[in-house]
Amino acid sequence: MTILEKIIKTKKTELEIVKKTISIEDLRKLPNYQRKSVSLVDKLKNSSHGIIAEHKRKSPSKSVINDSILINQIINSYDQADVCGISVLTDKDYFGGSLNDLRITRKLTKIPILRKEFIIDEYQIIEAKANGADAILLIAACLEKKQITNLSSLAKKIGLEVLIEIHDENELKKCLIDTIDIIGVNNRNLKTFEVNINTSIKLSNMIPEKFLKISESGISNYSEIRKLRKYGFKGFLIGELFMKNNDPGKEVSDLIKKII
C-alpha cells in the first residue's frame, strides 16, 4: 500500500466519524459559509512573484518540519510578506494540521486561503467553505474523472476556486474540465518522494492556456522560479523552504525580493 492509499484509507474513517458529529446543515450555518471568497486566480494573475506560502508542520517524506512556532506568528509573517495565497494543511495524522488552523488563518488575513487536504467527498468541500477557505485542492492521483467533475462542480457552485494537482500526463487528461481553475504540477514523485522541477517543465506545454498553472514541491531558490516562469507558470506553492526556518515570513520576503 502506497502512502497515498494509506492516507485515503485514514480519511475515509475520519469522514465516517465527523459526519456523525457535524451535519452539512450545521456547516452551512457557520458565518464563513456566507462569506464572499477572494480569488486566488486573480491574485496570481496580477502578481509579480506568484508565491503561495504553505503552513505545514510535518509530512510523510520529511517527518517534523517545524512544530515549534505558533501558527499566528507564521500566518502574520506570510500576510506581511504579501504572498498571493496561503496554503493550509488540515490533515492531522500525516501533516499535523487541523481545521482550526484554517479558522485561525481566516481570522488573521484577507489573503486567499487554499485548503490543502485529501478531498474525496462533497462534505469536505462544504467544510472548507464553512471554515474560511477560498479555494480547495483536489488530487488527481486519488480521484476518477467523474469524481473530479462532481467535486469541482460543487466547489464552483458555492464560490470556491479549484486547484487540481497532477503528476503526469495521464492525470492531466482527467482534469481538462471547465470547473477547474488552476492546474498544479507536483514535482514530488508520490512513490519515491524524489523531487524534480523538470516534471513541471515537461508537462507545461501539455496544459491548455485556459488553465492557470502553478508548480508545487521541491522549489528551493529564486532561479528555479525564474526558470519555471519562462514555461508559463504563474504560481509557486512552497512550504518546506519557508517552514524549516525560525522566521518563515522573512524567508518569503527575501525570496520575493530576488524574484522581482
**Cell numbers at 119, concatenated:** 478531498
Using an 8 Å Cβ cutoff, are 55 and 86 in contact?
A: yes
Average model confidence (pLDDT) for the chain? 95
Residue 127 annotated among the catalytic residues of the structure: no
| Catalytic option among 47, 87, 217, 253 | 217
Query: 99, 60, 78: which is closest to 253 by C-alpha?
Result: 78
Specify the pTM: 0.96
62 vs 212: CA distance, rounded Å: 29
Sign (positive or negative) of CA dihedral 32, 75, 154, 208? positive
- At residue 189 the predicted structure's pLDDT band, cuts being 50, 70 and 90, is confident
Query: 66, 63, 62, 89: which is closest to 242 by C-alpha?
Result: 66
Query: Which positions ≥6 away from 78 have C-beta within 8 Å?
Result: 53, 55, 86, 109, 111, 248, 249, 252
Average pLDDT over residues 32-51: 97
| Catalytic option among 216, 240, 251, 253 | 216
Length in residues, the chain: 260
Among all chains, which residue has been given the C-alpha cell 464563513?
32
pLDDT one-digit tens code per residue, 233-258: 999 999 999 999 889 999 999 999 99
pLDDT one-digit tens code per residue, 224-233: 999 999 999 9
pLDDT one-digit tens code per residue, 158-175: 999 999 999 999 999 999
| 192-210 residues labelled b (16+ CB within 10 A) or e (exposed) | eeebebebbbebbeebeee
Residue 165 annotated among the catalytic residues of the structure: yes
pLDDT one-digit tens code per residue, 82-100: 999 999 999 999 999 999 9
**Cell numbers at 17, concatenated:** 466519524
- At residue 192 the predicted structure's pLDDT band, cuts being 50, 70 and 90, is confident
| Catalytic option among 116, 174, 213, 234 | 116
Res 59: pLDDT: 87
pLDDT one-digit tens code per residue, 104-146: 999 999 999 999 999 999 999 999 999 999 999 999 999 999 9
Residue 217 annotated among the catalytic residues of the structure: yes
| Catalytic option among 11, 43, 56, 213 | 56
| Catalytic option among 165, 171, 240, 251 | 165
Please report the domains of the chain, with CATH numbers, ordered by start residue: 3-259 (3.20.20.70)
**Cell numbers at 124, concatenated:** 469536505
pLDDT higher than 80, residue 27:
yes
Residue 92 annotated among the catalytic residues of the structure: no
Question: Which region among 13-22, 161-170, 182-191, 205-214 has the lowest average model confidence (pLDDT)?
Answer: 182-191
Residue 116 annotated among the catalytic residues of the structure: yes
Indicate the burial class of 235 (C-beta count within 10 angstroms; 0-12, 13-18, 19 or more): buried
